[in-house]
Amino acid sequence: MLEDSSLKFKFLLLFGLLYSCTRPNELKRIESTAASYIAVAGVDTAWLDLNIKGTTFKGKCAISFADKFTDSGEVRGLIRGDTLLGDFHYLHYGLEWKRVAFALLRKDQALYMAEGEQGEYFNIPYFKPGELRFDSVKFVFRPITAAR
């Protein structure tokens, strides 16, 4: 009987050691992707370099309006399903910094830039409820394929 309980103890000890080596609290590797996009709407052109890591995104965006002036700056935010929601902090007319709400809808390989009435809460821009629209957008970003 002593040998049987000793064997059980050894088995439990071995099981405990093996379980502790599996590291259940180890951080999972977060996927990240980077891509460049372009959107052309008449005489206006927009470029977007986007980095996605887990459920967040950040990147650079520039919008050229008829080659007269360019708004350029940084985008950042969170990803909720197929929608990227955040803000665009940019230099307007090369004179003053502005921050506006920014949203993209992922559909197939394209990103549709949202339009809609915006508000601001504690200097954080947002789309007013019911105002976020993707149905008649100006810019549809398409991936830029790198030459290989």
Beta bridge partners of 135: none
- The stretch 23-27 carries a mean pLDDT of 60
The pLDDT of residue 70 is above 70: yes
pLDDT of residue 31: 82
Distance of alpha carbon 41 from alpha carbon 116, whole angstroms: 18
Distance of alpha carbon 140 from alpha carbon 110, whole angstroms: 7
The values of phi and psi at residue 147, to 5°, are -70, 135
Distance of alpha carbon 81 from alpha carbon 121, whole angstroms: 24
Quick check: helix, strand or coil at residue 132?
coil
Beta bridge partners of 140: 112
Read off the pLDDT band of 123 (50, 70, 90): confident
Distance of alpha carbon 98 from alpha carbon 11, whole angstroms: 65
Out of 2-6, 26-30, 112-116, pick the least confident.
2-6
The pLDDT of residue 126 is above 50: yes
Beta bridge partners of 34: 51
Q: What is the C-alpha R_g of the chain?
A: 25
Q: Are 91 and 72 in contact (CB under 8 A)?
A: yes
- The residue ranges of DSSP E strands in 1-148, in sequence order, are 32-41, 44-53, 56-65, 69-80, 83-92, 96-107, 110-113, 118-121, 124-127, 140-143
Q: Which pLDDT tens digit goes with each residue over 10-24?
A: 666 555 655 555 555
Q: pTM for the whole thing?
A: 0.75
The values of phi and psi at residue 18, to 5°, are -65, -40
